Structure 1
Amino acid sequence: MTQKQIAVVGGGVVGVCTAYFLAQAGHEVSVIERHQNVAQEASFAHAGIVSPGYSTPWTVPGMPRKILSHLFKSEAAVSVKPTFDRAMWRWVRRWLSEYELERYRINSERMQRMAYYSRDILRQLSEYYQLDYEQTRGVLQLLRTEKDRKLAEPALALLAENEVPHQVLDPEGVRAIEPALASNTPLAGGIYLPEDEAGNCPLFTKRLKQIAGTAGVQFHFTSTVRAIEPESRGVALQIDDGRYAADAVVIAAGIDSVGLLKALGIEVPIYPVKGYSATALIKNFDRAPQSALMDEAYKVAITRLGGRIRIAGTAELGARSDELRERALRTLVKVGGDWFPDAANYAQANFWCGTRPMLPDGPPLIGATPIRNVYVNIGHGSCGWAMAAGCGKALADIISGHAPDIDIDGLTMARYG
Structure 2
Amino acid sequence: MRILVMGAGVVGITTAWYLQKQGHEVTVIDRQNQAALETSYANGGQISVSHAEPWANPAAPMKILKWLFKPEAPLLYRPKADPYQWRWSLSFLTQCTSAKAAHNIRQMVNLGTYSRQQLQALRADTGIEYDHLEKGILHFYTNPAEFEAAQEPARIMRDLGCDRQVIDADRAVELEPALAPARQQIVGATYTADDESGDARKFTQGLARRCEEAGVTFLYGTEVLDFERAGDRILGVRVLKEGKHQTLRADSYVLSLGSFSAVLARKLGLFLNIYPAKGYSITVPVKNDEAAFNVSLTDDEYKLVYSRLGDRMRVAGTAELNGYTRTLNETRCRAIVRRAAEMMPEAGFWDQAEFWTGLRPTTPSNVPYIGKSHFSNLYLNTGHGTLGWTHSCGSAAALADIVAGRRPDVDFSFSGL
Deviation (angstroms), 1:150 = 1.8
Q: Verify the 8 A CA contact 1:67 1:77 in the aligned structure 2.
A: no
1:203 equivalent in structure 2 = 202
Give yes or no for the alignment of 1:348 onto 2:352: yes
Distance 2:221 2:278 in 1: 24
The code of the aligned residue for 1:83 comes to K
3-state DSSP of counterpart to 1:94: helix
Q: Verify the 8 A CA contact 1:56 1:112 in the aligned structure 2.
A: no
Deviation (angstroms), 1:328 = 1.4
Match among 82, 87, 109 for residue 112 of structure 1: 109
3-state DSSP of counterpart to 1:157: helix
1:157 equivalent in structure 2 = 155
1:75 equivalent in structure 2 = 72
3-state DSSP of counterpart to 1:287: coil
1:8 equivalent in structure 2 = 5
The two structures, once aligned, show a CA RMSD in angstroms of: 1.6
1:412 equivalent in structure 2 = 415
Give yes or no for the alignment of 1:288 onto 2:286: no
Q: Verify the 8 A CA contact 1:185 1:338 in the aligned structure 2.
A: no
Deviations 1:275-320 (A, max 9, x none): 0000011111111111210001011001111101111000111243
1:272 equivalent in structure 2 = 276
Give yes or no for the alignment of 1:66 onto 2:70: no
Distance 2:416 2:365 in 1: 13
1:171 equivalent in structure 2 = 169
Deviation (angstroms), 1:261 = 0.9
Deviation (angstroms), 1:235 = 2.3
Q: Verify the 8 A CA contact 1:365 1:413 in the aligned structure 2.
A: no
Q: Verify the 8 A CA contact 1:76 1:331 in the aligned structure 2.
A: no
The code of the aligned residue for 1:375 comes to Y
3-state DSSP of counterpart to 2:195: strand
The code of the aligned residue for 1:412 comes to S
The code of the aligned residue for 1:350 comes to E
1:147 equivalent in structure 2 = 145
Match among 121, 126, 134 for residue 118 of structure 2: 121
Give yes or no for the alignment of 1:91 onto 2:88: yes
Give yes or no for the alignment of 1:26 onto 2:23: yes
1:38 equivalent in structure 2 = 35
Give yes or no for the alignment of 1:102 onto 2:107: no
Deviations 1:129-152 (A, max 9, x none): 122211112100011121111221
The code of the aligned residue for 1:214 comes to E
Deviations 1:248-287 (A, max 9, x none): 1001011121122111110111101100000011111111
Q: Verify the 8 A CA contact 2:133 2:198 in the aligned structure 1.
A: yes
Match among 304, 324, 338 for residue 334 of structure 1: 338
1:249 equivalent in structure 2 = 253
Deviation (angstroms), 1:81 = 2.6
Distance 1:276 1:117 in 2: 27
Q: Which deviates more from structure 2 when the two are superposed, residues 157-166 or residues 37-46? A: 157-166
Deviations 1:10-60 (A, max 9, x none): 000100011111101111000011100001111110101111121331112
Deviation (angstroms), 1:185 = 5.4
Give yes or no for the alignment of 1:190 onto 2:193: no
Question: How many correspondences in the alignment?
Answer: 410
Give yes or no for the alignment of 1:261 onto 2:265: yes
Q: Which deviates more from structure 2 when the two are superposed, residues 259-268 or residues 156-165? A: 156-165
Identity of matched residues, %: 35
3-state DSSP of counterpart to 1:76: coil
- Shift in alpha-carbon separation, 1:330–1:234, aligned structure 2, 3 A: closer
Distance 1:184 1:41 in 2: 36
Deviation (angstroms), 1:74 = 5.6
- Shift in alpha-carbon separation, 1:347–1:76, aligned structure 2, 3 A: farther
Q: Verify the 8 A CA contact 2:275 2:323 in the aligned structure 1.
A: no
3-state DSSP of counterpart to 1:136: coil
Give yes or no for the alignment of 1:382 onto 2:386: yes
Distance 1:154 1:239 in 2: 48
1:135 equivalent in structure 2 = 132
Q: TM-score, normalised by structure 2?
A: 0.95
Q: Verify the 8 A CA contact 1:60 1:154 in the aligned structure 2.
A: no
Q: TM-score, normalised by structure 1?
A: 0.95
1:366 equivalent in structure 2 = 370
Deviation (angstroms), 1:234 = 5.5
Distance 2:23 2:92 in 1: 39
Unaligned runs of 5+ in 1: none
3-state DSSP of counterpart to 1:268: coil
Q: Verify the 8 A CA contact 1:300 1:311 in the aligned structure 2.
A: yes
Deviation (angstroms), 1:227 = 1.2
